């Protein structure tokens, strides 16, 4: 298939979509990580919110699919993801945050595809999110594993209501288009809202064996009590009022 790197186009095709803003300290690690994928055709799309650092310069070393937001009003991450998706061609859209890392990506995405293969009505997939071991605190373990990961597992795999966070979301392309993508007016909890809407059409799932890491920079900067409160109030607001409680999600770098 044209414009895709990797194995034969007979395999399912992936579009990795990465929203960025001032990410030059982390983006290269993720891009190198994705470029190590060997068994599946893929494309990498960077959707930049107008970075003033070297984010775009670094991204250009790994992909020519880069879109840059140039409006004065700050871009929501939902809009960034939708702009990236508009450039995509893959059968699966894979939304990743810029500070994540996927150990053994070929094994990871083979397991991801096995999830879809075993469940024909599976439409959206997420994984188990951990902070890098050398950065992880007890607060991170409690916040991400006990609260976040277990709660998403409950909502996806048992209650079937749909939920996940933006670090990793894998969605079938036709389903993403059918529901209209992310709601661009949501400044916060747009990732959670996407899976809630997908769950109305079919299955969403969290697979604990799909383990990926990230920096945990937000709770490290603002503290877990504030982050949990921000998550709770915005999730509730979006669920009840279709509107984020906060008008802006503060950039943490």
Q: How confident is the model at residue 2 (pLDDT cuts 50, 70, 90)?
A: very low
pTM as predicted: 0.95
Tokens found for residue 37: 């994928």
Q: Which of 155, 133, 131, 150 has its CA nearest to residue 208? A: 150
Query: Which structural domain, as residue segments, surrounds residue 60?
Result: 14-241
More confident residue, 217 or 11: 217
Assigned domain for 246 exists: no
Residues 180, 182, 188, CA angle at the centre, nearest 5°? 155
Q: Distance between CA atoms of 145 and 151, rounded to whole angstroms?
A: 9
More confident residue, 185 or 2: 185
Our count of domains for the chain comes to 1
Q: So what's the pLDDT on residue 162? A: 96
pLDDT tens, position by position, 50-103: 999 999 999 999 999 999 999 988 899 999 999 999 999 999 999 999 999 999
Rounded to an integer, the average pLDDT of 111-117 is 97
Assigned domain for 186 exists: yes
Residue 174 half-sphere exposure toward CB, CA atoms < 13 A: 5
pLDDT tens, position by position, 183-193: 999 999 999 99
Assigned domain for 253 exists: no
Assigned domain for 236 exists: yes
Q: How confident is the model at residue 116 (pLDDT cuts 50, 70, 90)?
A: very high
Q: So what's the pLDDT on residue 8? A: 61
Rounded to an integer, the average pLDDT of 99-118 is 97
Share of the chain above pLDDT 90, in %: 87
Give the mean pLDDT of the chain. 94
CATH of the domain at 144: 3.90.550.10
Assigned domain for 4 exists: no
Given a cut of 90, whether residue 6 has pLDDT beyond it is no
Q: Give the residue carrying structure tokens 């599946």.
A: 40
Assigned domain for 156 exists: yes
pLDDT tens, position by position, 148-168: 899 999 999 999 999 999 999
More confident residue, 119 or 246: 119
Residue 47 half-sphere exposure toward CB, CA atoms < 13 A: 22
pLDDT tens, position by position, 225-244: 999 998 899 999 999 999 99
Assigned domain for 9 exists: no
Assigned domain for 5 exists: no
Q: So what's the pLDDT on residue 1? A: 38
Given the DSSP bridges, would you call strands 92-96 and 168-172 parallel, antiparallel or unpaired? antiparallel
Given a cut of 80, whether residue 10 has pLDDT beyond it is no
């Amino acid at each position: 298939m044209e414009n895709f790197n990797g194995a034969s186009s007979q395999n399912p095709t992936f579009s990795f979509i990465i929203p960025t803003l001032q990410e030059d300290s982390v983006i290269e690690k993720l891009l190198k990580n994705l470029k190590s994928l060997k068994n599946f055709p893929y494309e990498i799309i960077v959707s930049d919110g107008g970075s003033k650092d070297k984010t775009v310069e670094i991204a250009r070393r790994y992909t020519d699919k880069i879109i840059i937001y140039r409006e004065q009003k700050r871009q929501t991450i939902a809009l960034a993801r939708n702009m990236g998706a508009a450039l995509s061609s893959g059968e699966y859209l894979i939304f990743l945050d810029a500070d994540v890392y996927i150990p053994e990506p070929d094994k990871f995405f083979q397991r991801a595809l096995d999830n879809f293969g075993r469940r024909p009505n599976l439409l959206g997939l997420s994984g188990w999110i951990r902070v890098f071991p050398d950065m992880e605190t007890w607060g991170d373990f409690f916040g991400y594993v006990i609260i976040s990961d277990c709660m998403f597992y409950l909502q996806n795999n048992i209650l079937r209501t749909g939920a996940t966070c933006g670090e990793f979301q894998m969605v079938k392309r036709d389903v993403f288009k059918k529901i209209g993508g992310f709601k661009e007016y949501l400044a916060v909890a747009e990732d959670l809202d996407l899976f809630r809407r997908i769950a109305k059409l079919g299955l969403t799932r969290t697979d604990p064996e799909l383990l990926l890491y990230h920096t945990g920079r937000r709770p490290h900067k603002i503290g877990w009590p504030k982050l949990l409160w921000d998550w709770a109030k915005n999730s509730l607001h979006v669920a009840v009022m279709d509107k984020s409680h906060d008008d802006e999600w503060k950039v943490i770098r």
